[in-house]
Amino acid sequence: MSDQAIRVLDPTVANQIAAGEVVERPAAVIKELLENSLDAGATRVTVDFSRGGKALMIVEDDGKGMAPDEALLSLERHATSKIRLAADLDRIATFGFRGEALPSIASVARFTLQTRPAAAANGVEILVNGGKVIHRRDHGMAPGTRIEVANLFHPVPARLKFLKSDETEAAHIVRLVRLYAVAHPGVGFLLREDGRELFRSPGKAPLLERVREIWGKQVAAELTLMPAFERPGMKVSGLLGHPGVSRATRQDLVTVVNGRPVDSRTMAFALTESYHTLIPKGRYPLAFIFLELDPAWVDVNVHPAKREVRFRDEARVRGFLIESVLAVLRSQLAADPERTPLAMPSFAPAFVPPVPAPGESSAPTVPGSPAPSSPETPASASPEAPAPLRLGWRLLARLREERAVFETPTGVAILDLGAAHQRVLYEAILARFTEGRPVSQPLLVPLTLELEPLPAAVLKERHSLLTAAGFEFEEYGRNFWRIAALPVWLDPADALVFLRDLLTEMARREGDFGRPALAYDALAKLAVARARRKGDALADGELLALAEALFRTAQPATCPKGRRTFVEWSDADLGRRFG
């Protein structure tokens, strides 16, 4: 017991523990280094990395640099030049202030700091490996700072296991650097992977041009300039997506507060609210929003690895944003009445007749059917002409469009058209996946898809899965893909939006898509949720066929999300009710 006495942690161990919070992945290291460069007043920043940052990351700036003794001190825990007193915490204008990043990073990698203030004749180089200073010597260089981080997490191998593939880690780095570059239009950025230039943006261009340099042509073409709007203590400007342009996630809803790329529920909500009638429900607009306000009105003293920001007066910020964005959207719509908002994106073509699973043994029990005693199995039927299943139902009426009332041989049933249609569609799509039948339709004119790095990495990682599902594609330039074939159930007109959504969904739920069964299930659910034809768009003449198709599925009682597809009363039930 006596060897369990309380002791102060060895500084290296303390730093490695802090590193667990500050740097969870390579992109987090780049974030800390970039923020330091921007805090140091850099006008040019170059970021290099290789193997997703696991092997090497370098951030180089032309900022104010550090004198040799400052450089050594910067590697001490809680050494910062940015705040002195607790009271300063209320008006932080810089990114850093904890003085934790450099010592943390240096404790879990091979870390080389080279730095020189403009006033000094020479620079200094300090090499630290796993928290131990290896050498410190003079170093000839231009004014500024260059930090090299090699072999991240080698001193703490347990952490290595948590890193994702090189491609996924690289995608996080690219996304991060893009965010910071767009948030600092005045600073020149260069990003390279293995010496290959990913983007370069000199930092003098107008915002739209800047976004084109950093995010690509396709995104830039969907944006309009938002002029500055002001209120006492607040100012907003940026770029707004055209009405009708939408995304499945908040990925392309970029929000910058006082030069800091942030996540803000309030801002995302305000934007989504403003576009509310212009984009489909559940989707997000595309926008780059720059909000400036008194630092005292923003709370940044949150978790170091998180980007979530809070405002002292959320309602005021929200109101201001909604008003400003609506003003732009209104004038856009007024100027271009032709631009009608797009309807709900829609995916699967009409109603696909389901295929009975081969060798299906237990025929689903059909409510109100005259007892399943005659096993004429429909298993030999071809998919084009499913064997008629004699349900013996008769359509009586349609209830408020979305339901239908049937007389059954033994009572009355009410079918929920949406839920039933989704079940039928879902199993039809799933059957195509699992049976491995030819599922592709070649495209006469291949489609071109430009992807964000993260979805692009997913596309590569899940190549075989998507091929098995009927997609055929090849990369022809970084993040550019040519799509030559689609699954038969996917309408080519909807393919790009569907793929974008699918890939962002896959990136969000990395684990689920590792196993084909789960992946197919998720794919089918997504396809069904976005189906072009909703159940309630079926004509009366199609309703009986829908009911029959429903009872050929494996689980006729519920839709893929678990909602009931029908309710039923037997004649006996009804008799009792009439007493």
Judged by the rule CB under 6 A, the positions of this chain that interact with ligand ADP are: 32, 36-37, 40, 61, 63-66, 74, 79-82, 96-102, 145
> Cα separation of 180 and 547, whole Å?
54
Query: Residue 253: which of ligand ADP, Mg ion, none does it interact with, CB under 5 to 8 A by kind?
Result: none
Q: Which is nearer to Mg ion, 36 or 504 (CB)?
A: 36
Q: Which is nearer to Mg ion, 257 or 466 (CB)?
A: 257
- Minimum gap (Å) between residue 95 Cβ and ligand ADP: 7
Q: Which is nearer to ligand ADP, 102 or 149 (CB)?
A: 102
Query: Residue 155: which of Mg ion, ligand ADP, none does it interact with, CB under 5 to 8 A by kind?
Result: none
Under rule CB under 5 A, residue 286 binds Mg ion:
no
Which phi and psi (to 5°) does residue 104 adopt?
-65, -50
Nearest one of 242, 255, 248 to 317, comparing CA atoms: 255
Cβ-contact 29, 58 below 8 angstroms: no
Q: Which is nearer to ligand ADP, 23 or 420 (CB)?
A: 23
- Minimum gap (Å) between residue 36 Cβ and Mg ion: 4
Q: Which is nearer to ligand ADP, 21 or 230 (CB)?
A: 21
Alpha-helix runs per DSSP H in 342-452? 417-435
- Minimum gap (Å) between residue 173 Cβ and ligand ADP: 18
> Cα separation of 184 and 260, whole Å?
8
Nearest one of 52, 41, 49, 106 to 77, comparing CA atoms: 106
Percentage helix, strand, coil, to 5, in the chain? Answer: 35, 25, 40
Query: Residue 369: which of Mg ion, ligand ADP, none does it interact with, CB under 5 to 8 A by kind?
Result: none
Q: What is the DSSP annotation of 7-65?
A: -PPPHHHHHHHHHHHH-SSHHHHHHHHHHHHHHTT-SEEEEEEEGGGTSEEEEEE-S--
Per-residue binding letters, 527-556, with Mg ion (x by CB under 5 A):
------------------------------
| Number of chain positions touching Mg ion (CB under 5 A) | 3
CB atoms near residue 375 (< 10 Å): 7
End-to-end CA distance of the chain: 79
Under rule CB under 5 A, residue 368 binds Mg ion:
no
Q: Position of tokens 């689609």?
A: 486
Q: Which is nearer to Mg ion, 101 or 234 (CB)?
A: 101
- Minimum gap (Å) between residue 96 Cβ and ligand ADP: 2
CB atoms near residue 510 (< 10 Å): 13
Query: Residue 64: which of Mg ion, ligand ADP, none does it interact with, CB under 5 to 8 A by kind?
Result: ligand ADP
- Contacts for 416 with CB less than 8 Å, ≥ 6 apart: 402, 403, 535, 559, 563, 564, 565, 566
- Minimum gap (Å) between residue 120 Cβ and ligand ADP: 13
- Minimum gap (Å) between residue 155 Cβ and ligand ADP: 18
Q: Which is nearer to Mg ion, 99 or 285 (CB)?
A: 99
Q: Which is nearer to ligand ADP, 143 or 386 (CB)?
A: 143
Closest-by-Cβ residue to ligand ADP is: 96
Query: Residue 398: which of ligand ADP, Mg ion, none does it interact with, CB under 5 to 8 A by kind?
Result: none
Three-state DSSP class for residue 338 = coil
Per DSSP (E only), the strands in 338-438 are: 394-399, 403-408, 411-416
Cβ-contact 341, 279 below 8 angstroms: yes
Under rule CB under 5 A, residue 96 binds Mg ion:
yes
Q: Which is nearer to ligand ADP, 125 or 416 (CB)?
A: 125
> Cα separation of 444 and 492, whole Å?
10
Which residues from 13-52 bind Mg ion, rule CB under 5 A?
36
- Minimum gap (Å) between residue 94 Cβ and ligand ADP: 7
Query: Residue 316: which of ligand ADP, Mg ion, none does it interact with, CB under 5 to 8 A by kind?
Result: none
Query: Residue 74: which of ligand ADP, Mg ion, none does it interact with, CB under 5 to 8 A by kind?
Result: ligand ADP
- Contacts for 477 with CB less than 8 Å, ≥ 6 apart: none
Nearest one of 425, 416, 271 to 347, comparing CA atoms: 425
- Minimum gap (Å) between residue 200 Cβ and ligand ADP: 20
- Minimum gap (Å) between residue 73 Cβ and ligand ADP: 8
Query: Residue 79: which of Mg ion, ligand ADP, none does it interact with, CB under 5 to 8 A by kind?
Result: ligand ADP
Alpha-helix runs per DSSP H in 530-570? 540-550
- What tokens appear for 470 in the block? 């009927």
Q: Which is nearer to ligand ADP, 19 or 420 (CB)?
A: 19
Nearest one of 190, 136, 160 to 23, comparing CA atoms: 160
Q: Which is nearer to ligand ADP, 37 or 266 (CB)?
A: 37
> Cα separation of 480 and 277, whole Å?
31
- Minimum gap (Å) between residue 104 Cβ and ligand ADP: 8
- Minimum gap (Å) between residue 19 Cβ and Mg ion: 13
Query: Residue 82: which of ligand ADP, Mg ion, none does it interact with, CB under 5 to 8 A by kind?
Result: ligand ADP
Cβ-contact 60, 262 below 8 angstroms: no
Half-sphere exposure of 335 (CA within 13 A, CB side): 9
- Minimum gap (Å) between residue 105 Cβ and Mg ion: 10
Q: Using CB under 5 A, which of 18, 22, 92, 101 touches Mg ion?
A: 101
> Cα separation of 466 and 390, whole Å?
37
Q: How far is CA 153 from CA 103, 361, 573, in A?
A: 14, 55, 68
> Cα separation of 111 and 55, whole Å?
12
- Minimum gap (Å) between residue 158 Cβ and ligand ADP: 23
Q: Which residues on adjacent β-strands are paired with residue 399?
A: 403
Query: Residue 252: which of Mg ion, ligand ADP, none does it interact with, CB under 5 to 8 A by kind?
Result: none
Q: Which is nearer to ligand ADP, 99 or 560 (CB)?
A: 99
Query: Residue 97: which of Mg ion, ligand ADP, none does it interact with, CB under 5 to 8 A by kind?
Result: ligand ADP
CB atoms near residue 39 (< 10 Å): 19
Three-state DSSP class for residue 450 = strand
Q: Which is nearer to ligand ADP, 23 or 495 (CB)?
A: 23
* Binding-site ranges for Mg ion (CB under 5 A): 36, 96, 101
